[in-house]
Structure 1
Amino acid sequence: MHNHQKRTKSQSLILKLAKVSILIMVLGFTVSCKEEFSGPITEQITINDITVPEGFNIEKLYSPGEHEQGSWVSVAKDDKGRLYASDQFGTIYRVSLPGSENKVDSIVVKEVNIKIGMAQGLLWHENTLYALVNASSENDLNIQSGFYKITDTDNDDEFDTVTALRLFNGWGEHGPHNITLAPDGQSLFMVLGNHTDIPEDIGSVIPKNWGEDNLLPVIKDPSGHANDVKAPGGWVVKTDFEGKEWTLLNVGLRNTYDIAFNSDGELFGFDSDMEYDMGMPWYRPIRLCHLTSGGDFGWRTGTGKFDALFPDNLPGVANLGQGSPTGLLEGEGLKFPEYYQNGFYLFDWSYGTMYFASLTPKGSSYMAEVTEFISGVPLPLTNGIVGNDGAMYFLTGGRRLESALYKLSYTGALNNEVKMPTPNELGENERNLRKEIEKYQSIKNPNQIDFLVENLDHEDRYIRFSSRVALENQDVTVWKHKVSRDASVLRKIALAIAIAHQGEDTDRAMALQALIKLDWTDLTSNEKIDFLRAIELLLIRSSQNTDESLQRAIATKLLPHHLKESEHLNKEITKLLSYLDTSEILEATIYKMENDTITSNLKSIYLSGDITKRSDQYGKDVENMLKNMPNQQNISYAKSLSEVKSGWTKALRERYFRWYNRALKKSGGKQYANFIKAIQRKALDNVPDEERAYFESLSSESMNQQVDLMKDVRMPDGPGKNYTVAAVEKAFTENKKDANFANGENFYRASLCVACHSIKGVGGNSGPELTQIGTRFSIKDIAEAIVNPSKTVSDRYRNTIYHLTNGNTIRGRAVEERDDEIMVSINAFSPDMTSTIKKSDIAKVEESSQSAMPAGLINSLNEKELSDLMVFLIAGGDENNKIYN
């Protein structure tokens, strides 16, 4: 319920009727009505460069940047229908919309006259404005990240008091984000990114002994992103209106920006991907998640992300491909066609796209039909709200981009007739069972243990998961013995996972023995997946090495099935046997890597729906990757084999290391090649000293399969000048009609952009990927970023300054961290140039506010050359882009 208003009885009735409408639509029943409409509108129109469904109208109401009011990222609505919006790096503004409620004929914007701002979450409730502030350590408002309430104590319609209810240790693009009201109006829910620490003193329905839980060593992101972030990642918490009682409800999110409740009172979040990981087996697309109580969604740093099929985390209900998720808006109250009232609007900042997700109950959760709703170039969506007039009001902006407030309304005829219900089809029984189970995630009751165990093998995955979390919150001594006695395979496996988390080593050994007795051939595919993960967790969580006889028993059980199952099972079996140093798998696995070059159909992972329905700027770079797709299965095998120490012959190693030559010729995310090289370096650690030089030469051979980025580059003719933002805009405006693609590509290289940035997979990776820059940024924004690169530096691309005990400093980005030292890339133009620092030599570490990109890189270009470069950037390196026409 994203309009943050408590539901009335009449609203509850409307919601029930809405559920009925969904059901009729799903079952295919038809009722005579004024309007034949039961699904998404497929016809599109374009208004002011924004594509919307036919029958909708969009208006740009206000531009904060034109009034020096920053870039707006969050919005709330008060009882009078007025909006409150916060600048990402500045204060909060009150927006009075035209109409009788506000008694104004045109929009009126007024800065809130109190020191509060930088709120990525705003909520109005009972005459109080709540703010979830995401503040840097130094800011003009002199406030810290945290949860605040803003009040008007003398009732003069002006805020006069700000109270900090709780401070958080976290800020930036992965800091505290958004806030929403519980369906019953009695509490607040907040979501915070994976760079925000979970306070130790808050309660939790999730046992707090979480871990990285990876069987093989994690390879951290070569760019240094989130390398020091430990489990459990991003989180959701519940609190009261005074911030006194806190309960942790969800973990394992990456960087969910917004959360919202649906009409059934179920919580959802829109979680982000890590686009650097594209092409890798651990890549997870942006996704809509059903945030049931106690849910872990499996984010871990680097290669450590849990597979969505693992039973110790929950999947998304819909995968959308690439993007940067921001707002999540529930459609209640919108005067839109019925289909668009019952679901979520998902805001994607980087692709300028708003999606609509229509939910259909599936057990105690949902399945989602996701369609593209509106899009624009650029249209950096941040957040939205339902207005009192039934229109959608949404914001664009963020990262100091040009910001705007838009109004989206439906101008066609609406059908208000009610459809007849069909009983027992909305998943209510399953949801009620799950909620009954969830009570025992925070209540110890030994009398309910049999009830919880009984539901460990429920056909519904969310019920199984909730039951195990509730069981783990009970006394382990009461239920651990059941792992040896219960006849149900799924219950036995779930009990083993619970013991891995909560038991002692002796209990884990007992659970391993119970699992080993299971007959592999009798297990279903899902049971095999759960079985392997349970084995992994029991091995990972044991404080001492598992008994060798048990390890041999596991290897003996699995070896006959190696590479004889589904892709997912083959990957997991190979990983587990590699951990057990089972040399018998080497020959068969390497042969598979050499000969199985067919890639799976992965379009659904990277794209939302049919690519032909999207405009060229959406997903085209992903499509290029799919044309040269790496084999993710083989990458997984390569990483697993890098841990095997015994059984290698020189011939096997030659075949294994030469595989990297082929892998490095494939395309993927920005860190694709660096991850491949990191796996290769790990494998070199197991090569005997007397053979190291030879295999290092093979490694160098594969690592040098890179394009010479500066080959045949023509230097600018000039004469150049010291460009200002205005001068760049002027040059572009005057010369864009005659832009030359080949010249633009040449000056992209000649100006050294290519050294740090990639377009369509070509270029360096120490700076942001630029293929989609034209879909997100205006000419002014791009010019500002080039002329003043240090004005806004994303967290992801900040250098770190290491102050050493000898007085020296080293500036760069950590690319690898070991127990006693850190490897730092010290040259953005040559990322392989590194310096290794002993941790004992570090006196102080701080983030640099300066961009690694120097100013003045375009100053050697004349205006025509500069314009060719700018058009090339806006086109995303696509010579067929409409800008060239």
Structure 2
Amino acid sequence: MRIRTVAVVLAPALLFALAGSAAPQEVAGLRVPAGFSVSEFAGSDLANDIQCLTIAPDGRVIVSGRGYVSILVDDDEDGRADRALPFAEGPEDGAMGLLREGDSLFVVGDGGLRRYRDADGDDRADGPSELIRAMTTGSEHDAHAVRRGPDGWLYVMIGNFAGIDASYASLPTSPIADPVAGCLVRFPPDFGGSEIVADGFRNAYDFDFNPDGEVFAYDSDNERCVSLPWYEPTRFYHVVPGGHHGWLAPQRTETWRLPPWAEDVVPPVAPIDRGSPTGVVCYRHEAFPERYRGGFFLLDWTFGRVFFARPRQEGASYVAEPEVFLRATGSEGYAWTDAEVHPGSGDLFLSIGGRGTRGAVYRVRYEGEGDARGVAETERRRGGAGGRLEAGVIGGEVGTDRIVEAAGSDDELERLRALVELGRRGDAVPAGDLSRAIRGNWDHPDRLLRSASAALIRRLGPGDRVGLAASATSDRQRTTLGFGIAGDDPEAALGLASEVLGDEGASPSDRLAASRLVQVALGGQPDPALIGTAWEGYSGRLGRSASGDPEAPETLAARLRSGFPSGDLALDREQSRALAMLEDDHPDSLELVAERLTGSSDPIDDLHHLIVIGRLRAPRTPEVTSRVADSLLALDRKLDDRGANRDRNWPLRVSELYEGLADRDPELHRAMIEHPEFGRASHALFARSDGFDRLASADRFLDRAEADPGFSWDADVVAVLGDRPTDWAIDTLRSLWGEVGLDEAILPILARNPSPQDRPKFADGLGSTQRSTVSASLGALEALGPSDDPEEWLALVLALRRAPDDESRRRLSRFLARSTGRDLGPDPSSWSDWLARHSPDLAGRLSGGDGVDAEAWERRLAGIDWSTGDASRGEGVFQKAQCGACHSGNRAVGPDLAGVAGRFSREDLFRTIVLPSRDVADRYRSIVVATSDGNIHQGVVIYDAADSLILQAGATETVLLRPGDVEERRSSDASLMPAGLLDDRSDREIADLDAYLRSLGSADAAGR
């Protein structure tokens, strides 16, 4: 296999057709619809690692990454930027939101929503930014995009780790008072307080307004939970004021999220796919064909895709059918971060970057003729509503009577806006008006209107609620009332849910709402003691104690059972979930749920039902035990048959599930180990549970592996074999060395009872990046005694260089002293110098394998007159050597060099430049990936999940690989920094470079 520089062309795995009816075309490594062109507007030489982009009213593109905001200028108007004007040297963490208005540039970065001013119009910020509102920024789940709404308010989208709390709902009109997870916050024009518009997002990076003023966003998936029952793909949302959009972490849960069919959750306009959502922009221009106008472009960072979706109103919200508009076709890895529509040309501008990847801006243009009527018709639709309530802040100019009247409109979206506005006005609305609006919507077929009605019920006093309760005669009215009172009176809410569940004529949708109401009245999910486990979504904060009637839980459980199974996925999920939260102990519940586990049932449904069984308290029968064992052991096979990925949380949650099931069923371990299907590698996670017969399971795995040459070894199986260190097991592990990528797992087992035949393996283990592996390897070598092999001494010296602490260095140097008969102390350079003299043939490998004559360079560096160095000339040397491409301060492939001379001596600094692979820091350690088409890629991992691997392979190259492309991957001790950067430089130039590096981070450099 040889390294080639050809691109890896990935097989398409699209869930949606490319936009447009004509055949797509290939442009610049992108698949684009017919009729469109894509060109690079600005490359990484002008703006690198771009986190966000905006377009000023004058049409100029503004971009930002870590430590810079720049204006891109196309001087000759040829469609490509000629220069970048540095507008501001910040934010330090890079803006994740930009908005230019007049002389103001709003940015989200450096700890809040900020504003730069350019009052003199010289395209430079007049001074430091002004902090408008503090909020957490800088990380990927913090504060993000900023936009001006059609209502004149300033909106900011904020991720779920930003710590937004009730203080951001400082205005009494705030639709959300106590936010959960990510949210949308807005500020009035005078910044006199703020409102939380909506919550329940995971990490929506961007948002925009449609022509009617409604907000739309693109939220991320819970990617580590693929193939678990609560996984949801990325979702395109209509952001409903006052609505919760499903995500509960970190305030309530760790990974479990409310399903989209829950009564109190805003459903998505469309689910999309795996990915990392970034930019969102509504196309409000006439340059693109009619079908795009009023639709949204949605950017996916991970897979290099741009989706298009055109929402159409359905009831009080919207639906859409997303399609792929642009898709990367090669290994370029277009990491899309932001998008805007040019106000003049109507072209779509897209930026790439993030996590230190290559930065650039692309322009998408439609080459055909546009139809100017599109925007005009859209604007007439907005303005010609005849007094129709618009989205956003309505303000005092609309009277309460008008709003109550709108709450009965034939247009469900107008009804929703009216109900939201009544909630915002709060105590200013007479209780009678609230009740009238509630009664007109609490049994409406549209669940968003029912949910908004429940929010108004929460504002009513006890007396007014009594009046509603007396007139609640339909199942929908009862459930809506129940959601309105559940927070104050959970017992009454459970009673209302029980009434609906006991109604033989209740529809599936009413039973679904009632099942969810049971969960809400039990305090919602989860039991605080179970946060971060498989049981999060199947336990309640209040438990069975929510009802003061000791017989109520049994009555509820009986009524839930009476409708289970229904054949409706959502209803059956929530009825059984409610039974789990009640921890029902009736044998019928256990049998009914266990019967759902069959040979043909969906494995995701199986996991759900298994978790429910783990919460039910009835004694286990042999039939139930057998069904549970069958289902658990078939999970891997069923998922493989469906081509389903599993990510990081899958084995963790399934291990917890199994332990919980075994705690309630003392016969389960035996049923598993005696089952004829037991013995595949993925079953090792069960075998590692407490109480499992590990000795017997090890023999079963060995039998399977001996009979199956294609046995899929993994680290868990290796660990199980390690618990039974027979000659058979140890010989098997030795045979796997270097073959299946599990050396790190095998080595500690071999090190427990070290054998001389394994000595080379322990020497190899000293090169591991895992501290525990290095320690185990060294312990084995110490037990075996000193060696006179210089190859082993080399491994010890290299490990000494990488040792993370003084104790590790002392231990390594003591063993080196025992082996060599020399005591040189813990100084790595002393040992390196000695070994190079003692074994000259190893000198090159001591230099990190770069093929550099280290001694010759040391002699040359020693003869340079460093006093002749000039920092200004050195900056030119730095640029000529292309050092800035990887060390610009915002590049992940190389460390920031500011203050580098304060951290390293001149000798160490230039040794690193000359011998870049001599000692690579873990953060910048690369991996080597061999692909099925014969290519080899090396790079720093910037994204690694079940269905994609992204490498930063150099200053400007990003490589995107699918799992099917990867044949082998391993860590590398070789640096991405090339050797020989200084080979063609004179001694004076090297002295100049030294002076420049020493100036970085100094006061003089900061002022330059």
Match of 1:540 in 2: 523
> What is the rounded CA distance, in whole Å, between the counterparts of 1:520 and 1:470 in structure 2?
26
1:108 is the counterpart of 2:83: yes
Q: Displacement, 1:246?
A: 0.3
> What is the rounded CA distance, in whole Å, between the counterparts of 2:561 and 2:357 in structure 1?
56
> What is the rounded CA distance, in whole Å, between the counterparts of 2:155 and 2:224 in structure 1?
30
1:867 is the counterpart of 2:843: no
SS of equivalent residue, structure 2 residue 325: strand
Corresponding letter in the other structure for 1:73: Q
Q: Find 1:330's aligned residue among 282, 302, 306.
A: 282
Instruction: Show CA shifts across 1:652-708 (max 9, x none).
Output: 3354245322224434331323221121123334356xx798689788674478931
Match of 2:354 in 1: 398
Q: Residues 188 and 239 of structure 1 are in contact (CA less than 8 Å); yes or no, is this contact kept in structure 2?
A: yes
Match of 1:575 in 2: 577
Q: Find 1:379's aligned residue among 324, 330, 334.
A: 334
1:408 is the counterpart of 2:364: yes
SS of equivalent residue, structure 1 residue 248: strand
Q: Displacement, 1:436?
A: 1.4
SS of equivalent residue, structure 2 residue 615: coil
> What is the rounded CA distance, in whole Å, between the counterparts of 1:97 and 1:149 in structure 2?
25
> What is the rounded CA distance, in whole Å, between the counterparts of 2:304 and 2:79 in structure 1?
31
Match of 1:486 in 2: 472
Match of 2:411 in 1: 429
> What is the rounded CA distance, in whole Å, between the counterparts of 1:199 and 1:98 in structure 2?
46
1:173 is the counterpart of 2:175: no
> What is the rounded CA distance, in whole Å, between the counterparts of 1:632 and 1:179 in structure 2?
38
TM-score, scaled relative to structure 2: 0.59
Q: Displacement, 1:292?
A: 1.5
Closer, same or farther: CA 207–51 of 1 in aligned 2, 3 Å: closer
Match of 1:59 in 2: 39
Closer, same or farther: CA 170–92 of 1 in aligned 2, 3 Å: closer
Q: Displacement, 1:484?
A: 4.8
Instruction: Show CA shifts across 1:613-636 (max 9, x none).
Output: xxxxxxxxxxxxxxxxxx211111
Q: Displacement, 1:597?
A: 2.1
> What is the rounded CA distance, in whole Å, between the counterparts of 1:875 and 1:74 in structure 2?
24
Q: Find 2:962's aligned residue among 867, 876, 882.
A: 876
Q: Displacement, 1:880?
A: 11
Match of 1:628 in 2: none
Instruction: Show CA shifts across 1:543-580 (max 9, x none).
Output: 54422211121122222322244222222222222324
Match of 2:307 in 1: 355
Match of 2:157 in 1: 191
Q: Residues 275 and 301 of structure 2 are in contact (CA less than 8 Å); yes or no, is this contact kept in structure 1?
A: yes
- Give the alignment's Cα RMSD to 1 decimal: 4.1
Corresponding letter in the other structure for 1:324: S
Corresponding letter in the other structure for 1:240: P
Q: Find 1:678's aligned residue among 653, 656, 659.
A: 656
> What is the rounded CA distance, in whole Å, between the counterparts of 2:155 and 2:624 in structure 1?
55
Corresponding letter in the other structure for 1:560: S
Q: How does 1:483-522 map to 2 (within 5 A)?
A: 483-501=469-487, 503=488, 507-518=489-500, 519-522=502-505
> What is the rounded CA distance, in whole Å, between the counterparts of 1:327 and 1:792 in structure 2?
28
SS of equivalent residue, structure 1 residue 521: coil
Q: Displacement, 1:417?
A: 5.1
Corresponding letter in the other structure for 2:242: G
Instruction: Show CA shifts across 1:102-128 (max 9, x none).
Output: x99953211124543511100112321
Q: Displacement, 1:591?
A: 4.5
> What is the rounded CA distance, in whole Å, between the counterparts of 1:190 and 1:540 in structure 2?
30
Closer, same or farther: CA 645–363 of 1 in aligned 2, 3 Å: closer
Instruction: Show CA shifts across 1:496-536 (max 9, x none).
Output: 011112x1xxx332232233233432111111110111122
Corresponding letter in the other structure for 1:855: R
Q: Displacement, 1:57?
A: 1.0
> What is the rounded CA distance, in whole Å, between the counterparts of 2:189 and 2:76 in structure 1?
31
In structure 2, runs of 5+ residues without a counterpart are 1-18, 389-408, 525-540, 675-682, 689-700, 702-710, 716-732, 740-764, 772-882, 897-919, 940-948, 952-958, 968-1008
Q: How does 1:602-613 map to 2 (within 5 A)?
A: none
SS of equivalent residue, structure 2 residue 185: strand
Q: Displacement, 1:455?
A: 0.9
Corresponding letter in the other structure for 1:379: Y
Q: How does 1:136-215 map to 2 (within 5 A)?
A: 144-161=110-127, 162-169=129-136, 171-184=138-151, 186-203=152-169
In structure 1, runs of 5+ residues without a counterpart are 1-38, 134-143, 211-230, 600-630, 717-748, 756-779, 794-849
Instruction: Show CA shifts across 1:710-744 (max 9, x none).
Output: 8876749xxxxxxxxxxxxxxxxxxxxxxxxxxxx
Match of 1:721 in 2: none
Match of 2:291 in 1: 339
Q: How does 1:756-771 map to 2 (within 5 A)?
A: none
Match of 2:633 in 1: 661
Instruction: Show CA shifts across 1:730-789 (max 9, x none).
Output: xxxxxxxxxxxxxxxxxxx9x99999xxxxxxxxxxxxxxxxxxxxxxxx99999xxx98
Match of 1:549 in 2: 551
Corresponding letter in the other structure for 1:285: P
SS of equivalent residue, structure 1 residue 442: helix
> What is the rounded CA distance, in whole Å, between the counterparts of 1:250 and 1:513 in structure 2?
29
TM-score, scaled relative to structure 1: 0.67
> What is the rounded CA distance, in whole Å, between the counterparts of 1:654 and 1:700 in structure 2?
19
Q: Displacement, 1:857?
A: 6.3
Closer, same or farther: CA 693–78 of 1 in aligned 2, 3 Å: closer
Q: Residues 651 and 685 of structure 2 are in contact (CA less than 8 Å); yes or no, is this contact kept in structure 1?
A: no
> What is the rounded CA distance, in whole Å, between the counterparts of 1:574 and 1:582 in structure 2?
13
SS of equivalent residue, structure 1 residue 116: coil
Q: Residues 40 and 80 of structure 2 are in contact (CA less than 8 Å); yes or no, is this contact kept in structure 1?
A: no
Q: Residues 106 and 113 of structure 2 are in contact (CA less than 8 Å); yes or no, is this contact kept in structure 1?
A: yes
Aligned residues with identical type, % of pairs: 19
Corresponding letter in the other structure for 2:609: Y
1:595 is the counterpart of 2:598: yes
Match of 1:584 in 2: 587
Corresponding letter in the other structure for 2:449: I
Q: Residues 664 and 703 of structure 1 are in contact (CA less than 8 Å); yes or no, is this contact kept in structure 2?
A: no
Q: Displacement, 1:290?
A: 0.4
Instruction: Show CA shifts across 1:353-397 (max 9, x none).
Output: 111111222122212132211111421111111112221111011
> What is the rounded CA distance, in whole Å, between the counterparts of 1:574 and 1:782 in structure 2?
56
Match of 1:299 in 2: 247
> What is the rounded CA distance, in whole Å, between the counterparts of 1:709 and 1:783 in structure 2?
36
Match of 1:828 in 2: none
Instruction: Show CA shifts across 1:201-233 (max 9, x none).
Output: 2227677686xxxxxxxxxxxxxxxxxxxx711
Q: Find 1:707's aligned residue among 708, 712, 720.
A: 712
Q: Find 2:106's aligned residue among 119, 123, 130.
A: 130
Match of 2:24 in 1: 44
> What is the rounded CA distance, in whole Å, between the counterparts of 2:261 and 2:369 in structure 1?
44
Q: Residues 442 and 473 of structure 1 are in contact (CA less than 8 Å); yes or no, is this contact kept in structure 2?
A: no
More strand per residue: 1 or 2? 1
1:524 is the counterpart of 2:501: no
Closer, same or farther: CA 695–314 of 1 in aligned 2, 3 Å: same
Structure number with the bigger relative contact order (C-alpha 8 A, sep ≥ 6) is 1
Match of 1:611 in 2: none
Q: Displacement, 1:192?
A: 0.4
1:91 is the counterpart of 2:68: yes
Which has the larger Rg? 2
Match of 2:748 in 1: none
Q: Displacement, 1:590?
A: 5.8
Corresponding letter in the other structure for 1:659: S
1:278 is the counterpart of 2:250: no
> What is the rounded CA distance, in whole Å, between the counterparts of 2:601 and 2:116 in structure 1?
58
> What is the rounded CA distance, in whole Å, between the counterparts of 1:59 and 1:790 in structure 2?
26
> What is the rounded CA distance, in whole Å, between the counterparts of 1:281 and 1:275 in structure 2?
13
> What is the rounded CA distance, in whole Å, between the counterparts of 1:109 and 1:789 in structure 2?
22
> What is the rounded CA distance, in whole Å, between the counterparts of 2:153 and 2:938 in structure 1?
52
> What is the rounded CA distance, in whole Å, between the counterparts of 1:598 and 1:209 in structure 2?
42
Q: Residues 886 and 894 of structure 2 are in contact (CA less than 8 Å); yes or no, is this contact kept in structure 1?
A: no
Instruction: Show CA shifts across 1:318-375 (max 9, x none).
Output: 1111111100011012511111122100111111111111122212221213221111
> What is the rounded CA distance, in whole Å, between the counterparts of 1:424 and 1:789 in structure 2?
51
